[in-house]
A and B are shown apart, each in its own frame.
Chain A
């Protein structure tokens, strides 16, 4: 058969099934979904792997209608919805008259995709917009289903904590689903002690700030898609002697980044300023290792050296790659613009001058910097001020609309709805209280040997991760007042475990908490949670799940109105 792929799905699927696996199942050809006629292929069956989206249905209709029915052999069509069938889509296909052309219409419930040993994502990029702008809870339903699957595999989670409206909905759905399937009580010893459900809108600040961990910066600058990153090729050209005239590669260099790569696992969550010393130490170790060959005297020693060679070569190539990446990042982080931007961000986060129009932002608008950068900054100011005063808000709005075009009023409206850029209500700014109580701004941050999660933003501790940290110890009772200032209810639920499965933690054994971010999570927050996991007397280890891996730019983009390009 042949598979026609929705481009968006190829990434996530690549994480769980390689082409070789599909080939084993008689998949001969693969095509990308696009309008027009389907390419020639001598197959009996054509399967469409798509998300249940109406625009894609239009393309499929186009494909099907243009199929030459006279050709032989005739091809059969099938459609596989990921993650679920959509009656709306099928209705649409019916109205176009092509629904009958599909022999099989199925769904493949790919809810949570593993990205690493401690990270799962639904890769639902519209989840935040749907939940918070459109009050559409479908992605929450998928999240709940994903959690049910997780519990079927790893045992019922005895304790559920949550903060936020969406968290409440997901918890309710989970409890209801459990009730409706009484036979699902299984005898698996629970892996997770606690589930913490967090709404993204409980912490709107963190994704807006520029991440400063190694992985976070790679994502901010180059964008990590399904653990792959595309980088400018110049620094990766192999340096061969005597081939000076060789042309530089023009295709971007594609690298996979996950914890299977030893060096990457070591540096990914560090503050970028601490990466350089790790890389230089590694360089010395690797050089020394290669020098060993001169000391190998006996056959046994030589044999041992040779057996370790592939590993050393892999380590050396890994080091070369990351040294190049670090150089690329350093070019950006040492630029004046990056520094100025970061300065303003940190001023806002530490509560300085959040109530007046900021000169740097104005200058950037005047110089017509990319709109997303501007939006991140003004939203950051608004969140750090619990909303802007009318005069300040109007000023920014006016400048943005005059400089970038009036049609952006639609985006500004979305941002207001999401709570990112709004009027201050009641004349009160809660942020300083929240900041002080939760210790969100730490002046004495140590980037090289951190002792607190605030190292991931060089001073700012992600609010969401602080909440997780305080939940474990000493518990949320101690921050009741502050919790009330954050949007949405907070709650606790317990799920019954059959007797015999109740776990008694040994002394020194860590609890395991699954933190589910509803609406997106950044790599910096993941790094912060990993930091907590490996703290000596932390007591808790964290596994992270989310609807989508995001950074400030991709998140902002998902909230912007899709505008048609200007006609002329």
Chain B
């Protein structure tokens, strides 16, 4: 069957090469000398030779590449680096390991400093970007060759495409993990990076301005993504002063019209809020909450998902932080998300709600007033199991922190039936929370003197039968919890 997999590849490979040739030619116009040299060789190739022959002509062998890169012939250097970059840019199985083994990375890093040869700088930056995009070992090979300082310098290159390529490379290095992220921050990556974000930075990259180009992702998108990687990862969190510098820019980026930029900014906020309460506070203090809540209503999954996650993180914080989210309107945004077709969203929304329900009774009251009980009951009844588990937590938290009146309202909204139905699940932890919730309900009923009515209701809804079944449960704690309720309220001997 293997033979099927390579059939038909020829035409795409050919097309890609042809497009590249024309791109190279456009770029070459800037430099008369190069133009002459290349247009001759390429037009020759383009018109008269098949792709296989062409490969032989333009592609140097690996030995030749090493020789050329280490040699002093500028022309050959450029061609060699270009060949390397091309190999590393193909869709499948880029030979990153082989390139590293050639031992030419230090030399590529050196080329980054050749301000007199922007072509060489650009090709080297692209090649190094793609090497750093691999595994941690690959990234380390680039960093240990000393690439961080020259890349940071290149952020301020007069050539915007080189600056952009450096942003991309730095993003890959930052994305490797907290160690390199902080190494970059310590090398002062942030000021020149943020300096790039100004209203004059084009959303699309420079090459795009010269009609069509090789890039589909805009310059500002790249910057946003790199900033988000600088906010990413825990253990340790990114340094506080760095976060404080990036926040205003992220705030600004979140107002952009481009959905990729908004998405990556939202993810940055979700990283920054996935942390301690004092760090959450710094984010809340920027006043970003109303915008994040607005974005929770976006029809774009790529925006709504990280916005929901960021707000969800914030309501894990203090009562005041949660209140700030409520004041920003999170409760109005949640019903739609609790009913979202994607189960992961339902679950995340229910998780957010469970943390609001864990607050003081005033916040619970706001939750009820904003009409969150009906979608909650729906989810408990028909959601997927992971979302149901979160919904159980909402109910449990409500019965723990709510007033008797609030608990009554909860029961009146029809929560009992789906809750009791969930007594059939296998998961012991969920069972215990449900039994705990039932106990809370009985406590409230006792205060109101309606224990008998609740007993009757539980029995009518099949809850008694299901709890009886739990008396044979293999988990002892579940068994005991069920037994206590049975003995206390149902005269079970």
Q: Do A and B come from one complex?
A: no
B residues apposed to A, CB below 8 Å:
none
A residues apposed to B, CB below 8 Å:
none
